Amino acid sequence: MTQFQNIPVYVVLLALAGSFSSAIGVFAWRRHTITGSKPLVLLAIAVAVWSFGYVLELVTNQFDTKLFWAKVQYFGIVTVALAWLGFALQVTARGQWLNRRTIPLLLISPIVILLLVWTNELHGLIWPNITLITDGLLPILDFDHGLGFWACIVYSYVGLLTGTVLLVLTFVRAPHLYRGQASILLLGVFPPWIGNALYISGLNPWSFIDLTPLGFALSCCAMAYGIFRYRLLDVVPIARDLVIEHMEDGVIVVDQHNRIVDLNTAAEQDLKHTASDLIGHAIDAAFARWPDVLERYLHKTEVAEEFITGVGREQRVFDLRISSLRDRRGRYNGRLVVWRDITERKRSEEALRLQNEELIALHAKLSMAKEAAETASRAKSTFLANMSHELRTPLTAILGYSQLLKIQIAKTHQTALIPDVAAIEDAGQHLLNLVTSVLDMSKIEAGKMELYLETFDVPLLVEQVIAIIQPLAKQNGNTLTVQCHNLPTSMYADMTKTRQILFNLLSNATKFTMQGLVTLSVDCELRNGQEWVIFSIADTGAGIAPDQMKHLFQEFTQVATQTPHVYGGTGLGLAISQRFCNMMGGEIIAVSTPGKGSTFTVCLPTTVPKPHTPLIPTEKVS
Ligand code: ADP
């Protein structure tokens, strides 16, 4: 018969421990998807079996009945170590250690121990001697402990110690992250050890009573609190790799209930709260500074956006990224919130944008100005072309009439008038040359100058040019020579323009050389598979200063200061010649040594292509 009237305090405590453990077992089972909950269910059941078995051992009177319940307790006792180890492995992210190969090995010892317990009468290996003590409030079984019992103790201690070391090490190594949780879990680790040490050492104030199940019941409570209250163990193993404590970005890890499980130093600084203030609390507390951010992103799982806080000088721009954290099976576990202050970058971007806009506006203005300048230039060229045309007509008339006058004067023998009429004719001719050059230049600039390509005889052309230039050369006491090394018989080009180029260059050579030598060399060369005619006009005259060479082919340029007075000229001859050469796909290269002479080399393709690609002239000074 049960002696309910004598139930001592520890029986009540044991019953409470059993009930608590059962409740935790049910609670944990309902959350069995959370890491660590399954071993916790096993631990809770084991502790409940142990506790209730112990209660029933204590409250029953019969020796056999008591022994039966003492044996039942061993189902719990051997399972506790196993469940404890399993719990420690799972929550420290070593769940994979429990597999098909390791579980059967781990089960060998408990099964052997259970067999020994239930067959103790045959060998006495667990309890060699059992006495029923009846002089206290309750009849109690006093056990002598045999080899099997100590084997069971060793097995249990190895399991418990391994689990305890794993838990303690893991949490001690991450002190910041687990500060709150470490203390709770460490609180849960020690009661069984204390209870067991008291029982084994005999220091227990209630002799014969094993306090270990009470210790384990307390552990179950602490473990359940640790994993279900904070969910820390669920989320952190996944997030750990992503969270870098010293990142400049603010980082927060929240669980699926929006409770903060971790944050880094940058986040602490930005949110103006310490980690210990925030961990375990709802995210609302953390983002109290930024209520609109909270409102906008509270329930979003994937975000990559910018948000702005503050106004005026206090305004800051942040780049926010929220990503969901999932376990290996893809179940949603929480969120990783990362933000970066990009205010400076935004300011630079804005400055760049403004600068760009200014540049675009400037470019538009410049384009308009260029357009206007081009229009003006075209208008000028058109005007000049028209004017030149208008001037040529009366000039031709002046020249014609002056020649007529010369004939009339010769007939009437008024020789005194001949020099005056010759002066009129010279001035008219000079003016006509000038007008012709201006007209040519205007046409080129207005894009109206056209090429008239034809096949012509090169030796004949050279002969004609020399015939015109010879008298000019003689005027200055120069000797004009022609050297033909490899004279091409014909070329396909604009003959008039080629003649004009040669005439311009040869007349310059004879004009700027006194008592010297002017040489025209003609050659034929192969360049890149194409045949070129090379006319080279060399003189031993004044030469051109190096700093004046770059202006040589610019229109209206007369590089020598004394040129207009001494030699006359328009400053258009070289510019027009270079343009003509370019139009035919060729170029003029000038080489000059002041005081020694100049060489102008005209390079033209033997067959001028259509359309041509103008080449850029190069100038050299030797
Ligand atoms: P211009 O009608 O004045 O001769 P050009 O364009 O033919 O105009 O020549 C421009 C200037 O280049 C000349 O005024 C002269 O100063 C210089 N120049 C051209 N050819 C020679 C040369 N062979 N020797 C020295 N100076 C030259």
Condensed to tens digits (0 to 9), the pLDDT of residues 245-266 reads: 667 788 888 888 888 888 888 8
* Alpha-carbon separation of residue 33 from 30, 223, 231, 328 (angstroms): 8, 16, 12, 12
Q: What is the pLDDT averaged over residues 333-354? A: 90
- Confidence (pLDDT) at 557: 65
Among residues 389, 411, 445, which one ends one of the domains? 445
Residue 455 lies in a domain: yes
Structural domains of the chain, count: 4
Residue 622 lies in a domain: no
Q: Can you tell me the distance from the alpha carbon of 546 to that of 552, in angstroms, rounded to the nearest whole number? A: 10
Residue type, 166: L
Residue 89 lies in a domain: yes
- Confidence (pLDDT) at 4: 34
Say if residues 592 and 549 touch (Cβ distance below 8 Å).
yes
Tokens of 381: 């060229």
Residue type, 549: M
- Confidence (pLDDT) at 389: 74
Among residues 398, 416, 445, which one ends one of the domains? 445
> Three-class SS of residue 87?
helix
Give whichever of 383-387, 539-543, 562-566 has the largest mean pLDDT: 539-543
Which residue's alpha carbon is nearest to atom 25 within ligand 1?
543
Residue 66 lies in a domain: yes
Please indicate, yes or no, whether residues 255 and 152 belong to a single structural domain of this protein: no
Confidence of residue 195 (pLDDT cuts 50, 70, 90): confident
CA dihedral sign, ordered 204, 206, 209, 212:
negative
Confidence of residue 590 (pLDDT cuts 50, 70, 90): very high
> Three-class SS of residue 32?
coil
Higher pLDDT: 91 or 449? It is 449
- Confidence (pLDDT) at 279: 78
Q: Can you tell me the distance from the alpha carbon of 419 to that of 480, in angstroms, rounded to the nearest whole number? A: 29
What's the gap between Cα 98 and its chain centre? Answer: 43
Please indicate, yes or no, whether residues 252 and 193 belong to a single structural domain of this protein: no
Which residue's alpha carbon is nearest to atom 14 within ligand 1?
558
Distance, CA 11 to ligand 1 centroid (Å)?
Answer: 127
Residue 613 lies in a domain: no
Higher pLDDT: 91 or 216? It is 216
Say if residues 248 and 239 touch (Cβ distance below 8 Å).
no
Please indicate, yes or no, whether residues 389 and 413 belong to a single structural domain of this protein: yes
Distance, CA 541 to ligand 1 centroid (Å)?
Answer: 11
Higher pLDDT: 615 or 78? It is 78
Say if residues 219 and 191 touch (Cβ distance below 8 Å).
yes
CATH number at residue 123: 1.20.1070
Please indicate, yes or no, whether residues 441 and 454 belong to a single structural domain of this protein: no
CATH number at residue 382: 1.10.287
The tens digit of pLDDT for each residue in 216-237 reads 888 888 878 777 766 544 444 4
- Confidence (pLDDT) at 422: 87
Q: Can you tell me the distance from the alpha carbon of 482 to that of 466, in angstroms, rounded to the nearest whole number? A: 8
What's the gap between Cα 595 and its chain centre? Answer: 62
Say if residues 323 and 305 touch (Cβ distance below 8 Å).
no
- Confidence (pLDDT) at 463: 94
Bridge partners of 131, per DSSP, are 142
Please indicate, yes or no, whether residues 384 and 497 belong to a single structural domain of this protein: no
Say if residues 88 and 162 touch (Cβ distance below 8 Å).
yes
Distance, CA 41 to ligand 1 centroid (Å)?
Answer: 107
Average model confidence (pLDDT) for the chain?
83
Q: Is a pLDDT exceeding 50 seen at residue 45?
A: yes
- Confidence (pLDDT) at 41: 92
Tokens of 192: 């069984």
- Confidence (pLDDT) at 453: 93
Please list, in sequence order, all residues whose beta carbon lies within 8 angstroms of the beta carbon of residue 592, skipping any fewer than 6 positions away.
543, 544, 549, 598, 599, 621, 622
Q: Ligand 1 pocket, 552 CB below 6 A?
A: yes
Q: What is the pLDDT averaged over residues 413-439? A: 84
Say if residues 545 and 594 touch (Cβ distance below 8 Å).
yes
Please indicate, yes or no, whether residues 72 and 133 belong to a single structural domain of this protein: yes
The fraction of the chain above a pLDDT of 90, given in percent, is 32
Instruction: Determine the atom of ligand 1 nearest the C-alpha atom of 552.
Output: 12
The tens digit of pLDDT for each residue in 93-138 reads 787 788 888 888 889 999 999 999 999 999 999 999 998 888 767 7
* Alpha-carbon separation of residue 86 from 1, 103, 164, 602 (angstroms): 40, 10, 11, 96
Tokens of 395: 């000039």
Q: Can you tell me the distance from the alpha carbon of 608 to that of 316, in angstroms, rounded to the nearest whole number? A: 67
Please indicate, yes or no, whether residues 204 and 280 belong to a single structural domain of this protein: no
Q: Any idea which residue has 């689990």 for tokens?
A: 163
Which residue's alpha carbon is nearest to atom 18 within ligand 1?
508
Q: Is a pLDDT exceeding 80 seen at residue 286?
A: yes
Distance, CA 371 to ligand 1 centroid (Å)?
Answer: 32
Please indicate, yes or no, whether residues 99 and 130 belong to a single structural domain of this protein: yes
Q: Residue 597 is inside which H or E element, if any?
A: strand 597-605
- Confidence (pLDDT) at 583: 92
Confidence of residue 182 (pLDDT cuts 50, 70, 90): low
CATH number at residue 571: 3.30.565.10
Which of these, 555, 546, 550, lies nearest to 580 by C-alpha position?
555
- Confidence (pLDDT) at 473: 92
Please indicate, yes or no, whether residues 533 and 597 belong to a single structural domain of this protein: yes
- In which domain, by residue range, is 441 found? 364-445
Q: Ligand 1 pocket, 493 CB below 6 A?
A: no
H helices present in 119-251, as ranges: 120-123, 147-173, 175-201, 212-224, 232-239
Residue 617 lies in a domain: no
Please indicate, yes or no, whether residues 403 and 506 belong to a single structural domain of this protein: no
Which of these, 112, 146, 141, lies nearest to 127 by C-alpha position?
146
Tokens of 464: 């004609």
Higher pLDDT: 312 or 531? It is 531
Tokens of 335: 């969120």
Confidence of residue 560 (pLDDT cuts 50, 70, 90): low
Confidence of residue 205 (pLDDT cuts 50, 70, 90): low
Say if residues 455 and 492 touch (Cβ distance below 8 Å).
yes
Please list, in sequence order, all residues whose beta carbon lies within 8 angstroms of the beta carbon of residue 542, skipping any fewer than 6 positions away.
512, 513, 560, 594, 595
Q: Can you tell me the distance from the alpha carbon of 334 to that of 236, in angstroms, rounded to the nearest whole number? A: 10
Say if residues 334 and 239 touch (Cβ distance below 8 Å).
yes
- Confidence (pLDDT) at 574: 94
Distance, CA 249 to ligand 1 centroid (Å)?
Answer: 72
Please list, in sequence order, all residues whose beta carbon lies within 8 angstroms of the beta carbon of residue 594, skipping any fewer than 6 positions away.
542, 543, 544, 545, 546
Distance, CA 553 to ligand 1 centroid (Å)?
Answer: 9
Across 285-418, the runs of DSSP E, i.e. the strands, are: 303-309, 316-326, 332-341
Please indicate, yes or no, whether residues 253 and 232 belong to a single structural domain of this protein: no
Q: Can you tell me the distance from the alpha carbon of 269 to that of 580, in angstroms, rounded to the nearest whole number? A: 75
Give 323's Cβ-side CA count (13 Å radius). Answer: 10
Q: Ligand 1 pocket, 509 CB below 6 A?
A: yes
The fraction of the chain above a pLDDT of 70, given in percent, is 87
Residue 550 lies in a domain: yes
Instruction: Determine the atom of ligand 1 nearest the C-alpha atom of 539.
Output: 23
Tokens of 327: 């376990």
Please give the backbone phi and psi of residue 272, each rounded to the nearest 5 degrees, phi first: 60, 45
Please indicate, yes or no, whether residues 228 and 371 belong to a single structural domain of this protein: no
Count the residues in the chain: 622
Q: What is the pLDDT averaged over residues 53-67? A: 90
Q: What is the pLDDT averaged over residues 437-457? A: 85
Q: What is the pLDDT averaged over residues 541-568? A: 73
* Alpha-carbon separation of residue 286 from 180, 270, 274, 294, 304 (angstroms): 17, 10, 10, 9, 20
Which residue's alpha carbon is nearest to atom 19 within ligand 1?
508
Q: Residue 522 is inside which H or E element, if any?
A: strand 517-527
Which of these, 2, 50, 11, lies nearest to 209 by C-alpha position?
11
Cis peptide before 8 (omega within 30 of 0): no
Residue 98 lies in a domain: yes
The tens digit of pLDDT for each residue in 501-551 reads 999 999 999 999 999 999 999 999 988 888 999 999 999 998 999 988 888
Q: Can you tell me the distance from the alpha carbon of 191 to that of 216, in angstroms, rounded to the nearest whole number? A: 7
Q: Can you tell me the distance from the alpha carbon of 130 to that of 408, in angstroms, rounded to the nearest whole number? A: 169
Distance, CA 491 to ligand 1 centroid (Å)?
Answer: 27
Angle in degrees, CA 316, 320, 322, rounded to 5: 160
Q: Can you tell me the distance from the alpha carbon of 196 to that of 215, in angstroms, rounded to the nearest whole number? A: 8
Q: Ligand 1 pocket, 559 CB below 6 A?
A: yes
Which residue's alpha carbon is nearest to atom 8 within ligand 1?
571
Please list, in sequence order, all residues whose beta carbon lies within 8 angstroms of the beta carbon of residue 432, skipping any fewer than 6 positions away.
392, 395, 396, 399
Q: Is a pLDDT exceeding 70 seen at residue 398?
A: yes
Q: Is a pLDDT exceeding 90 seen at residue 416?
A: no
98-102, 355-359, 388-392: range with lowest mean pLDDT: 388-392
The tens digit of pLDDT for each residue in 599-622 reads 999 999 999 987 544 444 444 444
- Confidence (pLDDT) at 356: 95
CATH number at residue 331: 3.30.450.20
Residue type, 503: F
Q: Residue 41 is inside which H or E element, if any?
A: helix 37-59
Say if residues 54 and 91 touch (Cβ distance below 8 Å).
no
